[in-house]
Amino acid sequence: MNCFNVCIWLAATSLLGACASQSSQAIAKLDTDSAEFHSVPCQNARHNAWLYDEAQKNKLWAGPSVVFLAGPIAVIPVLASNIGLNTADHIQANDISAQCGGKPLTQQALNQNIAVDATISVVVGGMAPAVAPKITAP
């Protein structure tokens, strides 16, 4: 049964690893021919979007690794850091949309998107403890 849990965890992680950050998705939706896209505020907003792509890729492997190595005590800090990174990514994506002529989200819509990502982080983060090795008494 433990092998089954490991297979599910690896499949979920590899499927979610293909997800782009919200910042990259916001940039992809922009009109590259518009005047706002080439403005200095838009260039500044787009400048650090790659950080969120790297964070997205790394948190999918680093979080479960930390939980595996440190044990269940690391679940809450790993989930909190994932939620923090997701929140920063959503805020940056909304800023990119606002600065580059896109359609920025309202505060309520932004909060809902952050809540959905936080829920997904909790669900996916809950898989890591399920595959941690079980310690049995001799």
- 136 in a structural domain: no
- 105 in a structural domain: yes
- 52 in a structural domain: yes
Give the model's pLDDT for residue 132.
Answer: 43
- 42 in a structural domain: yes
Crossing angle between the packed helical segments 49-70 and 75-99, to the nearest 10 degrees: 170
Distance between CA atoms of residues 111 and 114, nearest Å: 5
Mean pLDDT of 30-58: 85
Domain count, the chain: 1
Give the model's pLDDT for residue 43.
Answer: 87
- 138 in a structural domain: no
Distance between CA atoms of residues 96 and 87, nearest Å: 14
Q: Strand ranges (DSSP E) for the chain?
A: none
Q: Are 34 and 101 in contact (CB under 8 A)?
A: yes
Q: Are 81 and 59 in contact (CB under 8 A)?
A: yes
Give the model's pLDDT for residue 130.
Answer: 45
- 115 in a structural domain: yes
* Residue-range definition of the domain harbouring residue 28: 2-131
- 21 in a structural domain: yes
Q: Are 57 and 17 in contact (CB under 8 A)?
A: yes
pTM assigned to the model = 0.71
pLDDT digits (tens, 9 = 90+) for 10-41: 555 544 544 678 888 888 888 888 888 888 88
- 137 in a structural domain: no
